[in-house]
Amino acid sequence: MAKNLIIVESPAKAKTIHKILGADFDVTFSLGHLVDLPASRLGVDVEHDFAPHYIVIQRRRKVAKELLQEARGKSAIYLAPDPDREGEAISWHLANLLKDDEVKQAAKQAAKPPKKTPAATPARKSAQKAAEPNGRKIYRITFHEITSSAVKAALQHPTEIDQKKVDAQQARRVLDRLVGYSLSPLLWKKVGRGLSAGRVQSVALRLIVDREREVEAFVPKEYWTIAATLKTAAGQTFTAQVDKVGGKKLEVATGEEAAKLTEELKAQQPVVASVDEKEQKRYPKPPFTTSTLQQEAFHQLGFSSARTMRVAQQLYEGLEIGEAGPVGLITYMRTDSVRVAPEAVGAVRGFIGKTFGHDYLPDAPRAYKSRKSAQEAHEAVRPTSLARAPESLQGTLTAEQLGLYRLIWQRFIASQMADAVDRVIAVQIAAGRFGLKANGRTSVFAGWTKVYHETEERDKDAGEDTEPDSALPPLTVGERLALLACAPSQHFTKPPRRYTDASLVKMLEELGIGRPSTYAPTIQTIVARDYVRRTGGSLVPTALGRLVTDLLIEHFPEVMDVKFTAHMEEELDRVEEGDVGWVSAVRDFYTPFSSRVATAQEQMKEVKRDVVPTAYVCEKCHKFMVIRWGRFGQFLSCSDYPTCKTARSVPTGVMCPQPGCGGDLVERRAKGRIFYGCSRYPACTYTARRLPSPSDAGSTPAAEEAAEDDDRPTGD
C-alpha cells in the first residue's frame, strides 16, 4: 500500500493524476465540498463574530467516512483541490477533518488497556508511541494544468493552506448565507414558497429586468436609406449608399420623401469624387479568460454559460484519448487573467513558425494586459499541449468537448500570431447634389485569421441592417459611372438588445459583479427559479422575476445596487490580500442589512394575498376562480381557498391546435422544464415546447416531447 495520499475533488481528476504518479501514491476524491453550513438552518452565529457552524454534508457522509479510512496509516497527505478560493476552502475543511480523525484515532488507541509487558522493554515503548498521533504531514499542492510535469512539480514544492484565501471564501459563504436565509423566507412569506434571493443573483436579475423595461419603453422611429447600383466603364458593378444631400447628412423619415429623392437621383450623373485606400491591421485577441470563453462559446457553439463550464471542467480534469489514457487537455478554466507561462509562449511560437512559416510569427512574443480588477492567480485558458491538435482527437472526444477544445486551441495559437492586414477602400461619389459612399475590404495578409475567426453577437430579434464590407472594383477619381438602379429602403430604429448568456457575463465582469467561478451558477440559478427564461437565445424576465426584483429594490436598495455589490466583491478581494478581516467585512454589511430585513417583515406588501377575479369557474365547487401569486408566478386558484384547494395554470390565450379540441393551452412543468399542454388533458394530450402563434390554432403539428431532466441548483 502506498504511503502517500492525494485528495482531489472528482473521480476523473483522481484517475488522471493516478495515471501520472503510479503506485507510489494513492489518489482519492471528495466530490467537492464535504463540509458546509447546515441546509436546514442559518448556521451562522451573528452574536459571536458570525462564527460559522460547519457540518459534514448529509449526502457526503459516506464519502467522508471512506476518505478518512483511506487516509489512516498514510505518512503524507496532499490536498489538491482546484487552485482558487473555493479549492482552498475545500482543502481547509479536509485538513480539519483529517486532523480531528487523527486525534480520535489516537484517543481510541490510548484508551485500550496496556499489554502486560515490562516497563522498560522496547515493546512497552512501541505501544506508548502507537497511542500518540502518528504525526503525518498534511500539505497543500496546486497546479494549473493536469500534466505530468505540473503535478510532479507541485509535489516537489508543497505549501501550506492559504488562510487569507480561506477567509475570503468564508466571508463570501457567510454573506451569501445571511442574505439567502434572510431574503428567501421573506419572499416565501410575501409571495410564495420556494423562491430565493441572493447577493449576486438578484443584481443579475435586476440587470435583465431593467433591460427588458428599456426594450418595452422603446419607441421605434422610421427612417429610410437609398442604395444605388453602379457600373464602371469596365463593366463591373457595385453598390453605394446615399450619404449626403446638399452637403448634409441624409435624414429621411417618410417613404414619400425617400421616393422623391430617389427619382431625383436617377436623373444625375455619378462621378467618382475620391478614393481613399489604405492598409489596416487587425490585432489578435488574447487567450481566453473564463468570461471571454463563455461569451465566445455562446456565439460560436450556442453553449449556455453552465454548459461551457461543465465541458471545460471535463477537458481540464482529464479525458481518455486512446492509449495515452486520461489526459488533462486544458489549463484551469476559472481565471480572469490573460497571462501565459513563458514556457507555453515559447512552445506556441515554435509551433507557429514550424506550421505556418516565419511571416506568421511576430518578432517578439505578444503580451496582453488583464483587467484592472483581475486577480492574476492563474494563467489564461490554453491547451496543455499543442501536439494534440483538434483533428487528432476527432472520434475520441464528444462533439461538445471537441468543439470547445478546438475553440481554446485556435484562440491560443492565434493570440501569438502576426497581425492580419486588410486593404480598406473608402470611395466618395458625387451625383448632382447627392453624395454617395461605398466601402470595400480585401485581405492582404491573413495573419492570425489563418487560424481563428471571432464572431460578433447579433440581434436575433431584429437582425442586422448593415452588410459586411466586400471587395470594390478598381476606381479612379473623375471616373464616370452608370447608374443602373436605385431604390429606397424602409428601416426602424431598434431597441436595446436583450441580454444573452454572453452579454450578461460580459456586463457582470465589466461591473465587477461576481467572479469567474460565479457567472455560470448565477445565470443557472435565476433560470432555474423561473425568474428568467431563454427565448431565442435571449434572457427574458418572467412576471415573477419582475415582481421579486421590484420588491427587493423597494426594501433592499443596497443589496440590489450594482455599485454596492461590486464594492462587496472588492472587499472580498481585500480580505484575500490581508487588508481587511473577514469578520469586519461581514459586519459592515450585515448591520444595516439586518435592520432593513426587520423593517421589510412589517412593511413589504404581502403579494400572495392579492387576488385578481376571473370568469373561470372551479370544476369542483363551481365558484369563480381568482389569480394568485405562487412559487412559479401566477396561477388560477378557487376563490373559496382554503376550503377548496383547486388550482391550475393560467390559460395562455392560445387555443389548442388539435382539430375539434376547443381547449386552451396552459403552461406546465415536468422535470424542471417548461412546456405547453392542453387544458383538457388527459382528454387531449397535445404538448409543445414553444407556444404556437394564435394563427396556428386548428392546425395539427406533431406533438413534441415535454423536456429532458434539468437539475435545479440548491443552496441559498
Place of cell 477619381: 477
Which residues are within 8 A (CB) of 602 and not within 5 positions of it... i.e. 6 or more apart?
none
Q: What is the pLDDT of residue 651?
A: 85
Strand partners, 669: 674
pLDDT averaged per 10 residues in sequence order, the chain, 716 residues: 90 93 93 93 95 95 95 94 94 95 82 62 39 69 94 95 96 95 92 88 96 97 97 95 96 96 96 96 96 96 96 95 85 93 95 96 93 74 95 94 97 97 96 96 95 67 52 94 96 96 95 91 92 92 93 94 92 94 96 95 88 88 88 85 89 86 84 82 88 50 28 32
Task: Decide: helix, strand or coil at residue 283.
Answer: coil
Maximum pairwise Cα distance, the chain? 122
What are the pLDDT digits (tens) for 438-483?
A: 999 999 999 999 999 877 554 443 344 455 567 899 999 999 999 9
What are the boundaries of each domain within the chain?
A: 4-161, 170-217+498-603, 222-283+420-492, 294-414, 609-696
Residues 6+ apart with CB under 8 A from 361: 349, 352, 353, 416, 417, 418
Annotate 75-135 with three-state secondary structure: CEEEECCCCCHHHHHHHHHHHHHHHHHHHHHHHHHHHCCCCCCCCCCHHHHHHHHHCCCCC
**In Å, how far are 127, 318, 341 from 155, measured between CA atoms?**
33, 19, 19
- Catalogue the active-site residues: 332
User: 383: closest CA among 451, 328, 321?
Assistant: 328
> 415 with 285: CB under 8 angstroms?
yes
C-alpha–C-alpha distance, residues 17 and 8, integer Å: 9
Helix, strand, coil tally for the chain in percent (to 5):
40, 20, 40
Question: Between 3.40.50.150, 3.30.565.10, 3.30.70.2740, 1.10.290.10, what CATH number should domain 294-414 receive?
Answer: 1.10.290.10
Q: What is the pLDDT of residues 51-69, one digit of tens each?
A: 999 999 999 999 999 999 9
Integer Cα distance of 250 and 183 in angstroms:
54
Find out whether 528 and 194 touch, Cβ atoms under 8 Å. Answer: no
Q: 132 Cβ partners below 8 Å, 6+ apart?
A: 106, 110
Cell of 52: 460559522
Q: Under a CB-based contact definition with an 8 Å cutoff, are residues 407 and 296 in contact?
A: yes
Which CATH number is associated with domain 4-161? 3.40.50.140
Q: Name the strand (E) or helix (H) holding 678.
A: strand 673-678
- CA distance linking residue 428 with residue 243, whole number of Å: 9
Q: Is 111 exposed, middle or buried (0-12, 13-18, 19+ CB in 10 A)?
A: exposed
Inter-residue contact 596 to 554 (CB < 8 Å):
no
C-alpha cell at 461: 430579434
Q: What is the pLDDT of residues 38-49, one digit of tens each?
A: 988 999 999 999
* Phi, psi torsion values for 206, nearest 5 degrees: -60, -40
CA dist., res. 654 & res. 662, Å (int): 10
Q: In 588-672, which ranges are E strands?
A: 612-617, 624-630, 633-638, 647-648, 651-655, 664-670
Q: Give dist(CA 289, CA 370) in Å, integer.
A: 9
Give DSSP secondary structure letters for 161-222: --HHHHHHHHHHHHHHHHHHHHHHHHHHHHT-TT----TTHHHHHHHHHHHHHHHHH----E
Alpha-carbon separation of residue 308 from 14, 113, 171 (angstroms): 22, 58, 27
CA 521 to centroid of chain Cα atoms: 7
pLDDT value at residue 460: 40
Nearest to 656 by CA among 667, 645, 664, 646: 664
How far, in Å, CA of 183 to CA of 177, rounded? 10
Using an 8 Å Cβ cutoff, are 33 and 15 in contact? no
SS3 of residue 485 by DSSP: strand
- Whole-angstrom Cα distance, residue 209 to residue 216? 11
Is the Cα dihedral 214, 215, 221, 224 positive or negative?
Answer: positive
Task: Report whether the peptide linkage leading into residue 642 is cis, meaning its omega lies within 30 degrees of zero.
Answer: yes
Domain 170-217+498-603 architecture: Orthogonal Bundle (1.10)
DSSP label at residue 351: H
The answer to whether the Cα torsion of 495, 499, 502, 504 is positive or negative is positive
Contact 216, 207 (CB under 8 A): no
pLDDT digits (tens, 9 = 90+) for 168-196: 999 999 999 999 999 999 999 998 888 88
Three-class secondary structure of residue 343 per DSSP:
helix
Instruction: Give, in degrees to the nearest 5, the angle at Cα 533 between 530 and 534.
Output: 150
Please give the DSSP secondary-structure letter assigned to residue 363.
Answer: S
Predicted local distance difference test score (pLDDT) of residue 128: 37
Q: Cβ–Cβ contacts within 10 Å for residue 314, how many? A: 21
CATH 2.70.20.10, applies to 222-283+420-492: yes
Indicate left, alpha or beta for 570 from its phi (over 0: left) and psi (-120 to 50: alpha): alpha
Cα–Cα distance for residue pair 197/496, rounded to 1 Å? 26
Calculate the average pLDDT of the chain.
Answer: 88
Q: How far is CA 227 from the centre of its chain?
A: 41
